[in-house]
Amino acid sequence: MKPPLKSSQSSNSSPGSSAGAHAPEAATRRGSPIVLGAALLGFFLISLDALIVTVALPDIGRSLGGGMSGLQWVVDGYTLLFAALMLSAGALSDRIGARQAYGGGLVLFALASAACGLAPNLGILVAARLVQGAAAAVMMPASLALVRQGFPDQAKRARAIAVWTVGGAVAVAAGPVLGGALTATVGWQWIFFVNLPAGVLALALLTRIPASPRLPARLDVTGQVTAMITMGALTYGVIEGGDKGFDQPLVIASLLVALAAAAAFLTAQAKGAHPMLPLQLFRSRVVAVSLIIGFMLNAAYYGGVFVFSLYLQQERGQSALHAGVLFIPMTALVAVVNLVSAKLAALFGPRVPMVAGQLVGAAGLLALLTVGPRTDVWTVAALMVPVGLGGALTVPALTAMLLDTVPADRAGTASALLNTGRQVGGAIAVAVFGALLAGADTFLTGMRWSMLIAAAGLVLTAATTLTLPRDGHQNAAA
């Protein structure tokens, strides 16, 4: 019996994985800059839509109605489907090929973006955001698998991954500013319409990349359904609990459903013939710790952006444009620091930039505890800088370490697992921090609890990072 761990592009990275794989691989290597450009644009779009919406939330609320819980769903509707479908998307890419999956995801993402911009009410907007998240889930593992396919040499691949992360870093930098500028000038709808030209360009590049080989790959239907129920019920329970109270019968029921579905999911992964999350991967300390770090990084960063977007506009009366501008100090150096992280990892091993990044991020979050109702807004902007720099130091080294640890035929599964953990972290943080904001006596009290929880989490994951091998290498379970 073939091992059930194959997911995501074994054909794209293993010589001899199929008879027809050699020619596409060779052609892809010759066109590797095009491969990288197409993958980078997709990662840009995925990252942009996780952040560009946050600065526009107050305007969306005024335009379409809805309280705190409705605005949380505008954010979490995207990240929830993104996280829930990403692992299965790796198997889907195996079945139809990385390039084909990536192209299909791009088309769906563009159509969903148009639907978001045209949404007449909050319910349709959230539904379109769910579709966007599903498309992003298909794009993400296929994007990184294309990079793995185009750069088989480890050193060149590490540099390519660092450049690939620049796509996300630029989106992180541009998201709040672009969101604020578009919302203030032409309306919040254009934060979604702006995806269309970038999507068209990525598709144009994709036409110059050979079709990826296809492999038989079975989808884990039981695992996929139970994963979606787990994440959906948990997110619903936390958001609605913060809004209506955790003693409400529907909230209690949703949390119990999440617990039961999680147990069913783990059982399906342990006993299923073709699990979408092979539990054997967690025998590797690098894989297990990477997932925890990725979860906490996104929880701290995306949760912080969510909280401070609301703080700047609702508590301090800043316009969407000014709020976006105030995020520039935090995001402006992210792309540069991404590249620095790769160099530090090459010189000292991945643990150094990872531990340093997490501690820098935690220090920034603790500094934000000093923010009050009359703190100068540019001081607030300066205090947010370490939060952005901490993630920029950590993510490239974390991603490269994980891909170097797992065999080539599990690269897609590993990348999907890491990004699933990151998206779940962001979704849970928005739900939990929103609940803290809604349930606290004052907005500032909820904000400070949120920052304290995020800082404590980063300190713990930094300590956990020190348990990894110095060079970050530990083979995943076969």
Question: Does residue 251 contact residue 269 with C-beta atoms inside 8 Å?
Answer: no
- CA distances from residue 105 to 224, 418, 476 in whole angstroms, order as listed: 18, 19, 29
- The alpha helices in 311-384, defined as continuous H runs, are 320-326, 328-331, 334-348, 351-367, 377-383
pLDDT given for residue 355 in this prediction: 92
- Name the region of 245 (left: φ>0; alpha: ψ -120 to 50; beta: rest): left
- CA distances from residue 269 to 80, 109, 163 in whole angstroms, order as listed: 20, 29, 34
pLDDT given for residue 128 in this prediction: 93
pTM, two decimal places? 0.74
Cα–Cα distance for residue pair 213/206, rounded to 1 Å: 15
- Provide the total of helices (H) and of strands (E) in the chain, helices listed first: 20, 0
Q: Is the CA virtual torsion 191, 192, 196, 202 positive or negative?
A: positive
CATH of domain 19-212+276-465: 1.20.1250.20
Spell out where 79-139 has E strands: none
pLDDT given for residue 328 in this prediction: 84
pLDDT given for residue 140 in this prediction: 81
Please report which helix (H) or strand (E) contains residue 437, including its range.
helix 411-439
- CA distances from residue 166 to 45, 298, 332 in whole angstroms, order as listed: 12, 16, 12
Per-residue pLDDT 10s for the chain (478 aa) are 333 333 333 333 333 333 334 444 444 444 477 888 888 888 888 888 877 888 888 888 888 877 777 788 888 888 888 877 877 776 676 677 777 888 889 999 999 999 999 998 888 999 999 999 989 888 887 887 787 777 777 677 777 777 777 777 777 777 888 888 898 888 899 999 989 988 888 888 887 776 665 665 667 778 878 888 888 888 788 777 776 777 788 889 989 998 999 899 888 888 877 777 777 777 778 888 888 999 999 899 888 888 998 899 888 888 888 888 888 888 777 767 877 877 787 788 888 889 999 999 999 999 999 998 889 989 999 999 999 889 888 888 888 888 777 776 676 677 777 878 888 888 888 888 888 887 788 899 999 999 999 999 999 999 999 888 776 555 544 4
Cα–Cα distance for residue pair 2/462, rounded to 1 Å: 37
In degrees to the nearest 10, what's the CA dihedral of 63, 78, 437, 319? -40
